[in-house]
Amino acid sequence: MPSRREAQACVPAGAALDEPHHQHHRHLSSGPAGPALFVQANSPRTFARLTAAQQATSDPSPDPLDEPRLSQEHGVTFTVARISEPVLRDLGFRLVRVMLSGQDGATLQIMAERIDGTMDVDGCEAITEALSPVLDVEDPIRGEYRLEISSPGIDRPRVRVSDFRRAVGHEAKIELHGEAAQRTGGRRRFRGHIDALEEGGAPMLRLTRSDPKPDEERVIRVPLADIADGRLILTDALIRETLRAAKLAQAEAGDVAEAGGEPADAPPVKGPGRFALRNAQKVGNAQKPSDSQRPAVPKIAVKPRPLMPSGVRAAPTKNPRAP
């Protein structure tokens, strides 16, 4: 089947793409016949968020690759996520987000990461090679589109409980779902310092706000199931911690290579440099014999030329051999 993708791109960090709006329908679910066990009247996405949050905290030692996300896509992006997750897991990656944008033609962005939150160019290429034929066969998007495999970046979206656990101690901005904003007086966006993640039962995020109004509480507790989008604010402390973690991971990778009998990455070999020729000439001059070591050369007497006043030329001498 010919592919309808125009191009594939591997980008180092995810770009912000506009998520399409879809209408959500309410539904009613109940237990078996007899006394009611539970009644759930909410949107499908809210039910999925609650299930993911409870599943992430129920098992103390789950496989990190199987940790569920707190929210799910919908529409075409939900289908793409369902297709992509098994492929990513087989490669040792997990899905972060799927976005579909109509700017500059249709662009499908699939954001993925390893369990430690890292991603490199080799990982992007491996995912592209494995996922492209699967998308060609499933064909979830009508028309041509451009595929982007990206890394989450430093100020990455927080989509799992473990993401918020690592975010404790940093500044963040969060946005609530529409139904959750009704419980906060209609306010959906908050910004502040993440103090702690309370994981007893339904996980809750304790946030010390940096943008409260005089009549609003400064410290709030937000259920993770109510968060539609959570991101860290790019600060100097966050950059330093990210660089420190990257160096530590690189050092551990070198230690593992040495323990396994594989040579660690050798330091880069420096070139001769732009002053190599000059230095070689200096060495050659230093190796030349001194005047005392040179053989004596007979000197030839040279008759000095008479000094003439300025502007006066000496008369030319006649060549006696001339006719």
Read off the CATH number of the domain in which 9 is found.
3.30.300.70
53-67, 108-122, 294-308, range with the lowest pLDDT: 294-308
Average pLDDT value over all residues in the chain: 75
Better-scored residue on pLDDT, 57 or 129: 129
How confident is residue 301, by pLDDT bands cut at 50, 70 and 90? low
Residue 219 lies in a domain: no
Domain range spanning residue 43?
5-150
Whether residue 285 has pLDDT greater than 70: no
Whether residue 106 has pLDDT greater than 80: yes
Better-scored residue on pLDDT, 85 or 101: 85
Residue 103 lies in a domain: yes
Residue 145 lies in a domain: yes
Give whichever of 85-94, 153-162, 229-238 has the largest mean pLDDT.
85-94
Residue 261 lies in a domain: no
How confident is residue 149, by pLDDT bands cut at 50, 70 and 90? very high
Q: What is the pLDDT of residue 4?
A: 52
pLDDT (tens digit per residue) in 256-276: 555 555 544 555 556 666 667
Give whichever of 232-236, 277-281, 292-296, 312-316 has the largest mean pLDDT.
232-236
> In the predicted model, what is the mean pLDDT of residues 102-106?
76
> In the predicted model, what is the mean pLDDT of residues 286-311?
61
Whether residue 87 has pLDDT greater than 90: yes
How confident is residue 308, by pLDDT bands cut at 50, 70 and 90? low
How many structural domains comprise the chain?
Answer: 1
> In the predicted model, what is the mean pLDDT of residues 126-138?
95
Residue 128 lies in a domain: yes
Q: What is the pLDDT of residue 269?
A: 57
pLDDT (tens digit per residue) in 11-35: 545 444 433 333 333 333 333 443 3
> In the predicted model, what is the mean pLDDT of residues 124-151?
93
Residue 11 lies in a domain: yes
Q: What is the pLDDT of residue 294?
A: 59
Residue 185 lies in a domain: no
The three-state (H, E, C) secondary structure of the chain, written as one string: CCCCEEEEEEECCCCCCCCCCCCCCCEEEECCCCCCCCEEEECHHHHHHHHHHHHHHHCCCCCHHHCCCCCCCCCHHHHHHHHHHHHHHHCCCEEEEEEEECCCCEEEEEEEECCCCCCCHHHHHHHHHHHHHHHHHHCCCCCCEEEEEECCCCCCECCCHHHHHHCCCCEEEEEECHHHHHHHCCCCEEEEEEEEEECCCCCEEEEEECCCCCCCCCEEEEEHHHEEEEEECCCHHHHHHHHHHHHHHHHHHHHHHHHCCCCCCCCCCCCCCCCHHHHHHHHHHHCCCCCCCCCCCCCCCCCCCCCCCCCCCCCCCCCCCCC
Residue 126 lies in a domain: yes
Whether residue 248 has pLDDT greater than 50: yes
